[in-house]
Amino acid sequence: MMALTTKEDLDSIKSWLKKGKAVALTGAGISAESGIPTFRGKGGLWEKYDPEIFANAEELLSTFRQKPERIVDFLSDLYSLLLQAKPNPGHFALAKMEEKGILDCVITQNIDDLHNLAGSRKVFELHGNAFHLRCEKCFRRMGLDREKLADLINKMNKYKNSKWKLLRLFSQFFPKCTCLARFRIDIVLFGEMLDYDILSKANQAVNNCSLLFLIGTSGVVYPAAQLPFAAKEKGAKIVEINNNPSELSYICDYQILGKAGEILPEFIK
Ligand code: APR
């Protein structure tokens, strides 16, 4: 592994890009410059909310029964960040790379929808998308209107201390599917299975790429963190872009220490 500092290194990555298609695997770091603090970083969501509770379906339900206001606070904090966030130059550079035919797809662990908003077309969202609803039984999905979502957050705060009013609000907002199960927010919680189809397409993409950009992820959450190993095994070069070394730095061929929003635009020059 080498920390990239010179123009020669950049040229060598660019020459690899010409040998075949690249894939980008992104994590919370790419959205940090859009104003969404990373999960495990300072000021991140997991500093204020214990992920053992707030990223776990059963614990979320039992917290709702005992202290519904905690769930309202969590959802308000999460969505106030997500609703105001706009794609940054890092997201736009990846969309441009796809348009130019250099990048095959983006595989992301993020739920913030920012790759789609930036114009990336082939995006595999391993952990779901906070702006979609998904049927908990048949996995049918539908988009969530951003204005309706903002309205839900406002109403939730108004009814914060009444479990029954909140339940009525939720039952209106999360309709029943044609299969009769209920829709929920399309986010994969800890301990839940990833969507099989999305994960297999992500695996297929890394197995066929010549270069994998590993961007803004701590590399501690599986099965996402296994994808770079699969790419490497098939001979792809791994280029890490992160402002700090990660758990996966040791398998990377190049390491570019810095902000994704400043580094990625270099590849479309
Ligand atoms: N540019 C590049 N990298 C950055 C930047 C930046 N501007 N800012 C922070 N980073 C890096 C951090 O150094 C860290 O390695 O982004 C990484 C963010 O790590 P995490 O907070 O652990 O986020 P992520 O790896 O996406 O988490 C994976 O864990 O909590 C679950 O489901 C959640 O999808 C999430 C998964």
pLDDT by residue for the chain (269 residues), tens only, comes to: 445 556 777 888 888 888 889 999 999 999 999 999 998 878 888 889 999 999 998 999 899 889 999 999 999 999 999 999 999 999 999 999 999 999 999 999 999 999 999 999 999 999 999 999 999 999 999 999 999 999 999 999 999 988 899 999 999 999 999 999 999 999 999 989 999 999 999 999 999 999 999 999 999 999 999 999 999 999 999 999 999 999 999 999 999 999 999 999 999 98
pLDDT at 6: 64
Judgement on whether residues 249 and 144 belong to the same structural domain of the protein:
no
Between the CA of 217 and the centroid of ligand 1 the distance, in Å, is 4
pLDDT at 4: 55
Kindly state the tokens that stand for 150.
């903002």
Last residue of some domain: 146, 164, 187? 187
Question: Which entry of 91, 115, 127, 132 is annotated as an active-site residue?
Answer: 127
Residues 6+ apart with CB under 8 A from 35: 81, 84, 85
E strands along 48-173, which residues? 103-108, 123-125, 128-135, 141-143
Phi and psi for 143 in degrees, rounded to 5?
-75, 155
Q: Let me know: does 98 contact 107? Beta carbons within 8 Å.
A: no
Judgement on whether residues 138 and 209 belong to the same structural domain of the protein:
no
pLDDT at 1: 42
pLDDT at 237: 94
pTM over 0.85: yes
Distance in angstroms (rounded) separating the CA atoms of residues 257 and 97: 20
Q: What DSSP element (H or E) covers 59?
A: helix 57-66
Judgement on whether residues 134 and 31 belong to the same structural domain of the protein:
no
Q: Let me know: does 167 contact 161? Beta carbons within 8 Å.
A: no
Range of the domain at 209: 1-35+87-127+195-269
- Please give the single-letter amino acid code of residue 14: K
Ligand 1 atom closest to 188 (CA): 32
Tokens 């029943």 sit on residue: 176
Judgement on whether residues 24 and 93 belong to the same structural domain of the protein:
yes
CATH number at residue 172: 3.30.1600.10
Distance in angstroms (rounded) separating the CA atoms of residues 79 and 73: 10
Judgement on whether residues 143 and 122 belong to the same structural domain of the protein:
no
244 lines ligand 1 (CB under 6 A): yes
40 lines ligand 1 (CB under 6 A): yes
pLDDT at 39: 82
Indicate the SS3 state at residue 256: strand
32 lines ligand 1 (CB under 6 A): yes
* End-to-end CA, the chain: 24
Last residue of some domain: 154, 171, 187? 187
Distance in angstroms (rounded) separating the CA atoms of residues 129 and 116: 10
Q: What DSSP element (H or E) covers 232?
A: helix 227-233
Judgement on whether residues 136 and 239 belong to the same structural domain of the protein:
no
Kindly state the tokens that stand for 73.
């606070």
Judgement on whether residues 134 and 113 belong to the same structural domain of the protein:
no
Judgement on whether residues 44 and 76 belong to the same structural domain of the protein:
yes
Between the CA of 88 and the centroid of ligand 1 the distance, in Å, is 15
Distance in angstroms (rounded) separating the CA atoms of residues 253 and 260: 17
* Residue 132 falls in the annotated catalytic set: no
243 lines ligand 1 (CB under 6 A): yes
pLDDT at 234: 95
Judgement on whether residues 136 and 173 belong to the same structural domain of the protein:
yes
Judgement on whether residues 251 and 215 belong to the same structural domain of the protein:
yes
242 lines ligand 1 (CB under 6 A): yes
218 lines ligand 1 (CB under 6 A): yes
Distance in angstroms (rounded) separating the CA atoms of residues 245 and 242: 7
Ligand 1 atom closest to 111 (CA): 34
227 lines ligand 1 (CB under 6 A): no
Distance in angstroms (rounded) separating the CA atoms of residues 98 and 104: 6
Between the CA of 118 and the centroid of ligand 1 the distance, in Å, is 19
pLDDT at 110: 98
Query: CA distances (Å), 157 to each of 57, 81, 113, 150, 160, in order?
Result: 21, 16, 24, 11, 5
Judgement on whether residues 31 and 41 belong to the same structural domain of the protein:
no
Judgement on whether residues 71 and 137 belong to the same structural domain of the protein:
yes
Distance in angstroms (rounded) separating the CA atoms of residues 134 and 193: 14
Distance in angstroms (rounded) separating the CA atoms of residues 210 and 200: 18
Residue nearest to atom 34 of ligand 1 (CA): 109
Last residue of some domain: 140, 161, 187? 187
Between the CA of 31 and the centroid of ligand 1 the distance, in Å, is 9
CATH number at residue 229: 3.40.50.1220
Q: Let me know: does 111 contact 187? Beta carbons within 8 Å.
A: yes
Q: Let me know: does 37 contact 43? Beta carbons within 8 Å.
A: yes
- Count of domains forming the chain: 2
